[in-house]
């Protein structure tokens, strides 16, 4: 979705040589909505990748945080989309992929949004780094309205600012430009039922499958850690908790950055260590959950569980139920 000329295949490994060309970095709503191959911004943020990410997000091939860049999560989402549509799986933003992705995608990928009182009324909370100090807070809320708005539209905060120069994110009634993630392919009022979840440790991804084995959704994930590797084998969903507390018990697990030997509990909120949802698994102490740091999904270790962006975790939670099989695969 979303003038220095260079060959994109050699630099990015995504666009075929025949489509490589020079382009500007116009991120206006009109430029992004009308973007076509082979647009690429010289600083890594471009209308074509912004548009691609929004369309992938709508189709439940999540690129993680929408940032307009061609990072690892976006490349994985492109490959997953290609595989699901029986295309050559090369991860390239080429004509064949683009034609299928944009098929029937009539709604604009960027739209105007009027900030509401609910968006800016808070309360907002300064979140300390230490988990022991987080336990003293009444709620792990958003830190400010900009963070709330970015998460609401699955966006990187820097991109939100770049699309809206000189806008006041704290003022109700202000009109801003946001990613239009609520419409399009895969977005319906009735969520499909997931028959099986696969946690792909090597690919840092979670797949949601239908009864016939077809792909419903794929999400980038942070899976396990050196201290607490993710398990192998088959398990199932035990329970789903929206807006959960987080309990730290040093008798069950111990984190290097936690100094206390006493158990403690952290209140709910989007900046809670497990984000806005906890999908409890029959693998003891393991779950699939959200995160207070969506930009790090797929890039850093978790504390041992399966971490998704808050919006991806909530979407998955709405499609699974108690007893849904979950397989951990290499």
How would DSSP label each residue in 283-300?
STT-EEE--S-GGGTTTS
Q: What is the pLDDT of residue 87?
A: 96
Q: Domain range spanning residue 287?
A: 196-329
What's residue 230's pLDDT? Answer: 87
pLDDT of the residue at 98: 97
Contact 269, 243 (CB under 8 A): yes
Note whether 125 and 148 are within 8 A (CB). no
Calculated CA dihedral for residues 165, 61, 299, 231, nearest 10 degrees? 150
> How confident is the model at residue 22, as a pLDDT?
31
Last residue of a domain, one of 76, 101, 126: 101
**CATH number of the domain where residue 291 is located:** 2.40.440.10
187 located within any domain? no
The β-bridge partners of 236 are 325
Q: Note whether 208 and 262 are same-domain residues.
A: yes
Q: Verify that 316 and 200 share a domain, yes or no.
A: yes
Which DSSP string corresponds to 253-283?
---TT---SS-EEE--STTSTTTTEEEEESS
Q: What is the pLDDT of residues 21-33, one digit of tens each?
A: 334 578 999 999 9
pLDDT of residue 40: 58
In a shared domain, residues 288 and 308: yes
Number of domain units in the chain: 3
Q: Which residues contact 198 (CB under 8 A, 6 or more apart)?
A: 206, 207, 209, 326, 327, 329
Count CA atoms within 13 Å of residue 172 on its CB side: 7
Q: Which residues pair with 235 in a beta bridge?
A: 326
Instruction: Supply the pLDDT for residue 249.
Output: 82
Q: How far is CA 289 from CA 144, 238, 303, in A?
A: 22, 13, 11
pLDDT at 121: 98
Specify whether 171 is located in the same domain as 121: yes
If the chain, 330 residues long, is cut into consecutive pieces of 10 residues, what is the mean pLDDT of each piece?
31 36 70 85 80 98 96 95 95 94 96 98 96 95 98 98 98 98 60 95 96 97 81 96 92 74 93 97 94 90 83 98 97
The pLDDT assigned to 229 comes to 80
Among the three residues 101, 125, 145, which one is the final residue of a domain in this structure?
101
Question: Rounded distance, CA 33 to CA 48, Å?
Answer: 9
Is residue 110 within a helix (H) or strand (E), and if so which, with residue range?
A: strand 110-114
Specify whether 58 is located in the same domain as 35. yes
DSSP letter (8 states) at residue 18: G
């Amino acid at each position: 979705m979303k003038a220095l000329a260079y060959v994109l295949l050699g630099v990015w490994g995504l666009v075929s040589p025949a489509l490589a060309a020079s382009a500007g970095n116009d991120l206006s709503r009109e430029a992004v909505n009308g973007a076509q191959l082979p647009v690429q911004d010289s600083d890594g943020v471009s209308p074509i990748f912004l548009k691609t990410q929004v369309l992938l997000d709508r189709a439940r091939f999540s690129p993680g945080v929408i940032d307009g860049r061609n990072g690892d999560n976006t490349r994985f989402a492109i490959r997953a989309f290609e595989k699901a549509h029986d295309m050559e799986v090369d991860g390239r933003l080429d004509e064949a992929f683009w034609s299928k992705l944009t098929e029937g995608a009539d709604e604009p990928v960027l739209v105007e949004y009027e900030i509401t009182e609910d968006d800016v009324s808070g309360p907002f909370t300064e979140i300390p780094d230490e988990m022991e100090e987080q336990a003293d807070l009444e709620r792990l809320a958003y830190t400010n309205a900009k963070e709330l708005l970015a998460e609401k539209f699955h966006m990187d905060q820097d991109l939100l600012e770049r699309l809206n120069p000189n806008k006041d994110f704290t003022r109700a009634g202000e009109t801003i430009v946001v990613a239009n993630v609520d419409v399009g392919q895969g977005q319906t009022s009735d969520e499909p039922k997931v028959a099986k979840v696969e946690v792909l440790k090597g690919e840092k991804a979670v797949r949601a499958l239908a009864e016939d084995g077809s792909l419903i959704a794929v999400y980038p994930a942070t899976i396990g850690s050196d201290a607490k590797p993710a398990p192998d084998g088959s398990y199932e969903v035990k329970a789903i908790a929206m807006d959960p507390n987080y309990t730290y018990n040093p008798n069950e697990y111990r984190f290097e950055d936690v100094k206390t030997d006493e158990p403690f509990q952290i209140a709910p909120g989007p900046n809670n260590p497990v984000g806005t949802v906890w999908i409890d698994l029959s693998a003891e102490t393991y779950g699939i959950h959200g995160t207070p740091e969506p930009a790090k999904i797929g890039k850093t270790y978790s504390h041992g569980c399966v971490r998704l962006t808050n919006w991806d975790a909530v979407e998955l939670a709405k499609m699974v139920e108690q007893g849904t099989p979950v397989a951990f695969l290499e």
